[in-house]
Amino acid sequence: MSKPKVAFFDFASCEGCQLCVLDLHPEQLLDLLNVIDIVEFREAISEKADTFDIAIIEGSITRESDIPRLQKIRDKAKILIALGACAHIGGINALKNFQTKDEYQEAVYPTAPQKYETSHARAISEVVQVDAFIPGCPIDTNEFIKVVKNLVLGKKPGLPDYPVCMECKKNENVCVYELGMQCLGPVIRAGCDARCPSNGGYCFGCRGLITEPNLHSQKDIIQKYNLTYEKMMDKFKLFLERNKEVFPK
Amino acid sequence: MSKDVKIDIQHITRVEGHGNIKIDVQSGELKECKLEIVEAPRFFEAMLKNRHYDESALITSRICGICSVGHVLGSLTASEDAFGIKISEQEKNLRCLMNIGEHYESHVLHIYFLAVPDFAGAKSVLPLVNTHKDVVVRALKLKKLGHEIGNMIGGRLIHPTAMRVKAMTKIPTPEILHDIIHRLEEAKTELKKDIGILKTFIIPNFERETEYISLYKYGEYAFLEGNIYSSDIGETSYKNYLDITNEYLVDHSTAKRAKHNRKSYMVGALARFNNNHQWLSEDAKTIAADLGLKAPCYNPYMITIAQFVELFHLADEGIKAAQSLLDNGVELENRKFTIKPGRGIGAVEVPRGILFHDYVYNDQGYIQKANCIIPTGQNLQNIEDDFRALVPTILDKSKEDISLMLEMLVRAYDPCISCSAHILNVEFE
């Protein structure tokens, strides 16, 4: 069996998730190259490919003029994977969507607000069909290997669908709410090993909601800890503007 | 020579972000010469409006994956400047280690994966896996070292989780610090193995003197604090950074550009080397001399060599910082402070040069106004001016060779186009 051809592409993003791919252990990277052929990866190689089997896309769509490029990639790919929060859920790019286009254009280019094309930030799945995603800001490299290998073998991606709290408990952390901070861990997909709460931080939702989030229990929690609903919603704004369950509009 | 050359390179490869090179020579005369930045603008400064100080580093680190620690350091420094917070020696040493982690990740990626393939006649690092496996594996391990220092000290290198205003939320054990010292010593030994290969590279012989701008603190090869130094006019307070950067827009770039005393200036490893070389560690000085890097150096293709030299200096600095933490003991610090409304400025050196973050906070600690000025934006005009000087001298070469030399020049600057277009300079209110 010939190895599937894999191509990487990016739209509006920090390219940190592609950097995570370059950050695999030497053994992991060489091992991965045994099962796939990387045929396009602008950040690291000069070759450009006409055909590929799997497209891995980082970044959000923030310009209408980027849509034909994305469409072309979709047409060519048998499997399309959204890589990281920007592609998967819109991520931090969508934070600007809480302002009007005039507001953010004038803020950044006060002398020439209309000079450069832009529109509201969207996840890749809002524009084309996405077959799988690798969540996180940035992605977890072990999860990347797992998902790509599973897909190459024709299996399901195999992502966890339980909240970050489970991993936080496993790590024996004191609950972030007990420390007086807001945390979105109760409704956000695990798989990051609760990295932020385990390092003195809080979960701000970069991996997206689990399939059946108990948003009501989140409300109970803020009542119990005497926090405000507004402050909690403000935290959801950071990464989850595109989520209709959180921000129905 | 009356020659026509038209070059149009779309999406330059092996750089961070999307850029194009456009050159048009008619009858030997340079008609057009552009480095276009076509990256989608992301409006970060607009996003910062009304966000809490505890989120400013979290948000701005997402400007760039490869410089995320740099943005965190610039952001925290700006917030601390606004609130009048002085950080402890312990915190300085921990931040120094994070900065070293990022420079290892970034410089190693640039030197070995982005720049070296050109000198080895390859399209990427992948074919080198077969011909130079030992070098590739060494490079991957050195890059990994940067990531692991980031994990051990800051929770993660790309978008660190433990770096906060005033103090870290996590501290390393003595075992970790011993491990870091051991591995930085090992890194120097490993890097020395590649000096022979670097010497075989034929670096284009191109010089154009320009203005060199970097952070400056007497007695230090400054990264984390100091004033601004220009090779033309000397020292300026970091508070007056706007007098240096003078940003402006051009039609063919979504990234803002900068100019100071001349039409353009250079920031980054070579500017740091030219301005601060006397304060490199002894080992780094020896390596520089061995590789023929002498200040002042006016050849932008030597930026890659300056980065290599910095890796030795940074290893020595990291060993010192970790030793100081071991000698004095490390404990979790109290992170309480009083919010003060007002403006704060952070100036730090990140892999690609001097970075500025500038925030105005209200009395609740929410950002009212933000401005970030990115190294790559400051370098763009300088790169174009290099093109203008270089192209007429290489017109006798083939179109392919001219294109390669221009791409190599852009790569030498190690541009971070995501950063530069993640557009800045906000005047909201």
Going along chain A from its start, the domains and CATH numbers come out as: 5-152 (3.40.50.700), 164-240 (no CATH)
Interface of B with A in 59-78 (CB under 8 A): 59, 62-66, 68
B427 inside domain: no
Torsion over CA of B196, B100, B326 and B192, rounded to 10 degrees? 0
Residue A34 C-alpha, separation from nearest chain B C-alpha, in angstroms: 13
Tell me what pLDDT residue A2 has. Answer: 83
H or E element, residue B229: strand B227-230
Which parts of chain A register pLDDT below 50?
A: none
Phi, psi of B212, rounded to the nearest 5 degrees: -110, 125
**Distances from the Cα of B251 to the Cαs of A66, B380, B383, in angstroms?**
19, 13, 16
Task: Give the global pTM.
Answer: 0.93
Is the pLDDT at B424 greater than 50? The verdict is no
Q: What is the ipTM of this complex?
A: 0.93
CA distance A184 to A177: 10
DSSP-derived secondary structure for B364-393: TSBEEEEEEE-HHHHHHHHHHHHHHHHGGG
B315 and B169 in one domain? Answer: yes
* Residue listed under structure tokens 């011993």: B178
Interface of B with A in 96-135 (CB under 8 A): 105, 109, 113-114, 117, 123-126, 129
B113 and B161 in one domain? Answer: yes
B14 and B101 in one domain? Answer: no
Tell me what pLDDT residue B2 has. Answer: 62
Measured between beta carbons, the chain B residues lying within 8 angstroms of A23 are 105, 143-144, 147, 158
Residues B221-243: what's their mean pLDDT? 96
CA distance A112 to B249: 9
B297 and B405 in one domain? Answer: yes
CA distance B375 to B270: 13
Q: Which residues pair with B229 in a beta bridge?
A: B214, B235
Residue A179's SS3 state is helix
The band of B41, judged by pLDDT with boundaries at 50, 70 and 90, is: confident
Tell me what pLDDT residue B136 has. Answer: 86
CA distance B408 to B385: 15
B425 inside domain: no
**Distances from the Cα of A190 to the Cαs of A187, A193, B62, in angstroms?**
9, 7, 21
Tell me what pLDDT residue B426 has. Answer: 27
H or E element, residue A20: helix A16-22
Tell me what pLDDT residue B418 has. Answer: 56
> Residues B307-346, buried b or exposed e (16+ Cβ, 10 A)?
bbbbbbbbbbbbbebbeebbeeebeebeeebebeeeebbb
Measured between beta carbons, the chain A residues lying within 8 angstroms of B125 are 44-45
User: Quick one: tokens of B11?
Assistant: 């999406």
Q: Which residues pair with B373 in a beta bridge?
A: B356
B64 inside domain: yes
Q: How far is CA A11 from the centre of its chain?
A: 13
Q: How far is CA B366 from the centre of its chain?
A: 28
Tell me what pLDDT residue A143 has. Answer: 95
pLDDT single digits (tens) B233-287: 999 999 999 999 987 777 777 677 788 888 899 999 999 999 999 999 999 999 9
B138 inside domain: yes
Q: The domain containing residue B10 runs over which residues? A: 5-37
Is the pLDDT at B17 greater than 70? The verdict is no
The three-point CA angle B258-B261-B263 to 5° equals 55
CA distance B49 to B60: 12
Interface of B with A in 178-237 (CB under 8 A): none
From the list B58, B68, B144, the residue facing A25 with the nearest CB is B144
Residue B263 C-alpha, separation from nearest chain A C-alpha, in angstroms: 21
Tell me what pLDDT residue B121 has. Answer: 82
Residues B122-138: what's their mean pLDDT? 84
Residue B311's SS3 state is helix
B198 inside domain: yes
Residue B26's SS3 state is strand
Overall residue count recorded for chain B in this entry: 429
**Distances from the Cα of A206 to the Cαs of A9, A93, B64, in angstroms?**
20, 12, 16
B32 and B118 in one domain? Answer: no
From the list B17, B47, B161, the residue facing A196 with the nearest CB is B161
Residues B229-235: what's their mean pLDDT? 96
Is the pLDDT at B13 greater than 80? The verdict is no
DSSP state of B251: T
Residues B305-320: what's their mean pLDDT? 98
Asked if residues A219 and A184 have their Cβ atoms less than 8 Å apart, the reply is: no
B102 and B17 in one domain? Answer: no
**Distances from the Cα of B393 to the Cαs of A15, A226, B168, in angstroms?**
35, 70, 52
The band of B292, judged by pLDDT with boundaries at 50, 70 and 90, is: very high
B25 and B84 in one domain? Answer: no
B92 inside domain: yes
CA distance B143 to B150: 11
Asked if residues A45 and A38 have their Cβ atoms less than 8 Å apart, the reply is: yes
Kindly report the average pLDDT of chain B as a whole number.
Answer: 91
Helices (H) and strands (E) in chain A, counts: 10, 5
Tell me what pLDDT residue B123 has. Answer: 79
CB atoms within 10 A of CB B84: 11
Asked if residues B377 and B256 have their Cβ atoms less than 8 Å apart, the reply is: yes
* Residue listed under structure tokens 């990022």: B102
CB contact under 8 A, A14 and B422: yes
Tell me what pLDDT residue A221 has. Answer: 86
The structural domain count of chain B equals: 2
Interface probe for B, chosen from A102, A108, A118 (most Cβ of B below 10 Å), is A108
Computed on alpha carbons and rounded to an integer, the radius of gyration of chain B in Å comes to 21
**The domain spanning residue B352 has which CATH number?**
1.10.645.10
Residue B249 C-alpha, separation from nearest chain A C-alpha, in angstroms: 9
CA distance B368 to B259: 27
Alpha helix stretches (DSSP H) within B50-173: 53-60, 68-83, 89-108, 116-119, 128-131, 133-154
- Count of CA atoms in the C-beta half-sphere (13 A) of B243: 11
B86 and B115 in one domain? Answer: yes
B274 and B328 in one domain? Answer: yes
Tell me what pLDDT residue B394 has. Answer: 93
B110 and B11 in one domain? Answer: no
B227 and B125 in one domain? Answer: yes
Tell me what pLDDT residue B118 has. Answer: 86
Interface of A with B in 101-140 (CB under 8 A): 103-112, 115-116, 118, 137-138
Q: How far is CA B187 from the centre of its chain?
A: 20
Q: Which residue has the higher pLDDT, B88 or A28?
A: B88
Is the pLDDT at B419 greater than 70? The verdict is no
Beta strands in B283-421 (DSSP E): 342-350, 353-361, 367-373
The band of B16, judged by pLDDT with boundaries at 50, 70 and 90, is: low
Is the pLDDT at B425 greater than 80? The verdict is no
Tell me what pLDDT residue A217 has. Answer: 79
Interface probe for A, chosen from B13, B36, B110, B252 (most Cβ of A below 10 Å), is B13
Residue B236's SS3 state is strand
B272 inside domain: yes
B51 and B196 in one domain? Answer: yes
H or E element, residue A239: helix A229-240
Query: Please, which residues have CB within 8 angstroms of residue B408's CB and are 6 or more apart in sequence?
Result: B115, B118, B204, B301
